[in-house]
A and B are shown apart, each in its own frame.
Chain A
Amino acid sequence: MTGTDIDTGNATGRADTVPLLETEGLTVRYHRGRRRPALTAVHGVGLTVGRGETVALVGESGSGKSSVGNAVLGLTPVDSGSIRFDGEDITRADPRRRRALTAQIQAVFQDPYGSLNPVRTIGQSLVEPLLAHRRPDAGAPRDQVAAALERVGLPAGAADRYPAHFSGGQRQRIAIARALIVRPRLIVCDEPTSALDLSIQAQVINLLNRVQRDLGVSYLFITHDLALIRHIAHRVVVLYGGHVMEAGPTEQVCDRPRHPYAQALLAAAPVPDPEEQAVRRSGRPSRGTAGAGAGSAGPAVGCPFAPRCPYAAEPCRRIRPPLESVDGGQLACLRYPEIAEPSAVRGPGSRQPEEIPHADARPLP
């Protein structure tokens, strides 16, 4: 497994040489009883998250993106490889160290309905991180809860209410407030807006961006939505079948994806402009690879995307493509040099950069 690391991105441009979070050759296996073989969800993933930076982990179901998040949070044991937080190896941190780390690494989950205990008030839920990590300078827990609620745009009185009184978007704000209350340095956001409506999603994304500006917190942002990434991430890592397919700055991966999978992912997401969508649709394969869902573990050898890849050639099924640095980003594709050549045979689903939807801002009244 090639665990080549992605360039250390440092959004704040600070002189620190050590990234806040760094994984190297991270491999996660799930054991499924004695009869069935273990499922390898993550294969040698290496990524870094700088201070004050947002790195998006993109992929479809079965890509292993949530497993990476869970491994960083210590919820899933790591099979091999390492996770370093601020230079410290936390791959196999003992429970005591893990509990101490929760002051620095926090999480926001997808389901705003399940992440709050329905029989505890918001205040009782929010105060929990403070019980574990008393900060003498921060004042009374009640004041801290009020301050945290205010930061996410909720009144302090919300602390005495139960989760049933809040909508999905409000609960997600509360979950963010809970994550922020101990002033963590890294927040793992696992699809935090997937369960929300578009207009509410915008509120939550704006909140996350504002919090990052104010507090300098880093995000590992797990999502399947490439369109959303432009608005939150500095860098993007695209996963497929537990492997890194492509990584690089957001503009590059979202506007000029080079890996066939990243291209397919971008091409598949429909855009709201009917005329543009008609153009995109005509470019996409009329008949997909039905059956070979992204959830399948993929072949044991070769490129995991090869069975669905329009460019796949014989070596792709034999050799696992190494993750290599290619101008400014990283890429794991054997056929990239040929695909990149304009003269190369263009497969279905590929697009010229000009076709990319340009962000045309619509002013709100």
Chain B
Amino acid sequence: MTAIITSPETVQETGPAAPAPGRPWRGLLRQPLGLLSAGYLLLLVVVAAAGTLLTPRDPEADDLAHTLSGPSGAHWLGTDRLGRDVFSRLMVGSRPTLLGVAEAVLVFVVLGVALGMVAGFAGGRTDRLIARLGDLVLAVPGIIALLMVLAVFPDNNAAAMIAFGLISSPSLLRVVRAVTMAVRNELYVKAARLSGLSTPAILRRHILPRLAGPVIVQVSLFAASAVLAETALSFLGLATPETQGPSWGNMVGEAASVISVDPWLLVPTGGMLVVTVLALGLLGDTVHDLTVGRARGSAVRPVRRPRPAVRTAVAVAAADVAAAVADGAPTEQGAAAPLLSVRGLTIAFPSPEGEVTVVRGVGFDVARGECVGIVGESGCGKTVTARSLVGLLPGGGRVVAGSVAFDGRDLADPAGREVARLRGSRIGLISQEPMSGLDPSFRVGSQLAEVVRRHHRLTRRQSRARALELLALVELPDPASVARSHPHELSGGMAQRVSIALALAGEPDLLIADEPTTALDVTVQAEILNLLRSLRVRTGMAVVLVTHDWGVLADLCERAVVMYAGEVVEQAPVSDLYHAPRHPYTLALLAANPHLAAVGQELPAIPGTVPPPSAWPAGCHFQPRCGYATEECGAGAIPLVTVAGGHQARCIHVDRLEAAR
């Protein structure tokens, strides 16, 4: 189901969406820690740039009368061995440190991003060459390389930090290369190329923005390690010696030398390092959080489980539904109790704005051995309805009202124990994506045997034999060889047969088939439809088939339930539905079918799109797109009324529809 749908002609605002893509910085305001870190780092940069302009005292002024004094009014952070003001020295000392970090980061980013992007985008030989080069650099022991550089350029902080950036850049290169390779295969990059954009333009417009998140994270981590590397080198006296003025590193060095006399001196210098490294890390985390959501382009953020408080709102909705449901109970067709009986089924999903009802007051019956189709477009709630029957609602969805009676048992009870017991044994499920039900690392036969043993008390040997029987039942040409194969070795049609065999392992009375042929080619689809038909004859099981394809419906089902925007709009025997639809939506949907529309004329399209659950209109959900709509349609809930034997429609203009035919 699409989360956000608007009608085509009037593109409306989709509510208070998450941070609009393209403006991640605004989100920073909502992250206090990140904001604090950013502010601190900004201040540090200003202080480092200002140098001695901002320092309360001259950082080089000795005061031998007050050496190693603790914090005082005159010296906020105390004085060092020569009585110099520690606070002022820390301020000035930030300059060589930050400068060194900036040099290292610059080299790191330029090399890492440029080479990573080229390697990832070009691929082939270029990629291999750059990747090997990166591996080579990573294999060089960093500290030895730095010592060598410092041996050539003694006391040269810049040279050391540039070298540090260089030997660290392969780690960024790898990240950038991986992201580029992923983005390169995006359809929109293909589209940009076909738009005639040059490679540099594609890299700039489409690849670079996607790199921002991972690069910022890597840079913040690297900057933190560069701070430590710079101070370490300076501490060791290898770069920025004291003769060149204070730096954080040589200040730590000095504090360490007097640690037994004055342990305090280490606190401001060491503390400064800790805070700076922490701030860089926090900023990186924040920016990462902000950019990841953006790259996915989604306006949906993870939502907590619904709290009891919101249930009252839903309860009201449910009560509102109850009225529509009361008359919505399908007429009993025979004296025998149906196998499955759904009444007033209402399902809600959590959303940032509270629970949203996606299926409302759905009711239908399935007799033993009957095949009932649930048909509708995407977003109509057909899959959610089918999944709720087996208690497998995705994404925190739950049944808020209504009942599902299966052979006299209530499946809609909140604990879901009944469902769990029946699922797989008396109710089977096959889905659109056959591979999703198969574990890729096990052979088909052993997976099937495991399921067989779950339902029947059989020995290992018996269950294996039963698995082969099931594979033969689904008309696989060579069951033994299929049983020996892994799922990836099967074609789509064979995989769907195997997943049908899995669903049949418990000998179910009811099979729920959720778009079982949508992912298959038409000729394979015909085979699977034939198989389902013959299985129904042989096992006598009932089938609930979810589909959007009227042809599939006509092929397999006796009765159909048409859904639109979360409601049943019509239900009838398939033949009646096709020859005499009584709801304008059914009529329009059939007309839009390319099989039926007249060639050489415009295809009769339905204007607009299915409204999202949050924007369902009052009254009839189809009324904004309906040619028959009048004012009354929006006045209140439209009841599902019986128009003929076993034929119900949720429309107040049934007579007009009839007259127009």
Contact = CB atoms under 8 A, between A and B. Distances in A.
B65 interface: no
A153 B593 contact: no
A199 B523 contact: no
**Size range of the chain A interface in the assembly:** 35 or more
A118 B299 CA distance: 11
Given A60-B522, A202-B606, A111 B6 contact: no
B557 to A, nearest CB: 8
A167 B551 contact: no
A231 B594 contact: yes
Interface in A161-207: 161-170, 173, 175, 178, 182, 197-203, 205-206
A53 to B, nearest CB: 15
Given A119-B295, A277-B551, A291 B494 contact: yes
11 contacts: A102-B193, A107-B191, A117-B186, A167-B2, A197-B377, A198-B377, A202-B597, A231-B597, A269-B522, A363-B660, A365-B587
A60 B534 CA distance: 25
Contacts of B493: 290-291, 293
Contacts of A109: 187, 190-191
Contacts of B378: 168, 197
Contact of B209 (A119, A131, A155, A357): A119
A362 B605 CA distance: 12
B405 interface: no
Contacts of A202: 592, 594, 597, 603-606
Given A103-B196, A227-B595, A290-B494, A175 B2 contact: no
A114 B497 contact: no
A200 B609 contact: yes
Contacts of A103: 196
Interface stretch (A6-14, A80-88, A280-288): A280-288
A102 B196 contact: yes
B276 interface: no
Contact of A365 (B602, B603, B660): B660
A252 B260 CA distance: 99
A361 interface: yes
B21 A119 contact: yes
B588 interface: yes
Interface in B329-386: 377-378
A127 B192 CA distance: 10
Nearest to A230: B599
Interface in A89-122: 99-100, 102-103, 105-107, 109, 111, 114-121
A339 interface: no
B523 A60 contact: yes
A154 interface: yes
Interface of A: 60-61, 73, 75, 99-100, 102-103, 105-107, 109, 111, 114-121, 124-125, 128-129, 131-133, 153-155, 157-158, 161-170, 173, 175, 178, 182, 197-203, 205-206, 209, 224-225, 227-228, 230-231, 264-265, 267-277, 281, 284, 286-288, 290-291, 293-296, 308, 357, 359-365
Nearest to A129: B195
Interface in B530-550: 530, 533-534, 548-550
Contact of B198 (A99, A167, A293, A360): A99
A170 B6 contact: yes
B603 A205 contact: yes
A364 B591 contact: yes
Closest 4 CB pairs of A and B: A118-B297, A270-B551, A132-B196, A365-B627
B61 interface: no
Contact of B530 (A200, A225, A288): A288
B631 interface: no
Contacts of A161: 11
Nearest to B377: A197
Contacts of B526: 267-268, 270, 284, 288
Residue from the set B5, B187, B205, B594 with the largest chain A CB neighbour count within 10 Å: B594
A87 to B, nearest CB: 21
B77 to A, nearest CB: 45
A348 B564 CA distance: 39
B594 A228 contact: yes
Contacts of A154: 8, 11
Contacts of A119: 21-22, 209-210, 294-295, 297
Contacts of B521: 60-61, 224, 293-294
Given A197-B377, A287-B475, A271 B551 contact: yes
Contacts of B195: 102, 106, 128-129, 131-132, 178, 182
A247 B196 CA distance: 32
A63 to B, nearest CB: 9
A29 B657 CA distance: 56
B150 to A, nearest CB: 43
B574 interface: yes
Contacts of B190: 75, 109, 115
A162 B4 CA distance: 12
A131 to B, nearest CB: 7
B318 interface: no
Contacts of B196: 99-100, 102-103, 128-129, 131-133, 182
B598 interface: yes
B206 A270 contact: no
B635 interface: no
A259 to B, nearest CB: 13
A311 B297 CA distance: 52
A109 B198 CA distance: 20
A164 B555 contact: no
Contact of A198 (B298, B491, B529, B593): B593
Contacts of B533: 281
A111 B526 CA distance: 25
A305 to B, nearest CB: 11
B347 to A, nearest CB: 21
A165 B4 contact: yes
B167 interface: no
A198 B548 contact: yes
